[in-house]
Amino acid sequence: MKDAMKKFFSITGIVLLFVVALGLIFNEPLKEFAVSHMSDRFLTSLTADKVKKNEKKKANYDFKKVKPISASQVAKASVNNSAVAIGKMSVPSVDLYLPIVKGLSNDALSTGGGTMKANEKMGKGNYALAGHYMTNKGVLFSPLENVQLGDKAYITNMRHVYTYKVYFKKVVPPTAVYLIDDSPGKKLLTLITCADGGTNRWAIQGSLVKTQKATHKSLAVFTK
């Protein structure tokens, strides 16, 4: 009886996942909802212990393997749940609240902002994150289009909170990879997403203005 029940629930689960996948493929709003749901799930469940554990995991940084976000990819990411969260990010002025995920895998970039270089350290060097632009202004990195100079951007590894002030915003060609390089003596946050339908890139940069311990009060900036 138990084996039969297990088989039933297993088959039911597969059917449900198939239905969800089909729904995502044929329904754009549902796709955006799924992305938002994945992001929120990682945000609410993240702890300092999880970050410490996830920081040790390997990740993919191959730019060439990054594909435009699609309904099928979102469905796959929903099933795989393989993104590795190592922090949180927020730009409250444009209602951007996302998990920071390790690497540039398609599952990771369907969930949040992905680290663009191996061994990046928050609060040091040039901490660079990439994210997808979607038609809905409130999903993934889409809100960055509305960022203004002087806005504050925040990142945390659940041990410290780092505050950056935006001083640079520009549409650049995909070849402008120098923007993610470290600059001697500078502590930067660089955020990259698509512009002009994917032809170019939005590049937003901020300089570190404050570092503080992660407390209930300081982590409030990552709550919608």
Q: Which of 93, 184, 69 has its CA nearest to residue 144?
A: 93
**H or E segment and range at residue 15:** helix 2-26
Question: Given the structure tokens 């089909």, which residue do they identify?
Answer: 22
| Conformational region of residue 129, where left means phi above 0, alpha means psi within -120 to 50, and beta covers everything else | beta
How far apart are the C-alpha atoms of 78 and 19, rounded to whole Å?
12
Q: Please answer whether residues 70 and 181 qualify as being in contact, where contact means their C-beta atoms are separated by less than 8 angstroms.
A: no
Based on the residue annotation, tell me whether 194 is a catalytic residue of this protein. yes
How far apart are the C-alpha atoms of 193 and 176, rounded to whole Å?
12
Based on the residue annotation, tell me whether 160 is a catalytic residue of this protein. no
Catalytic residue annotation: 132, 194
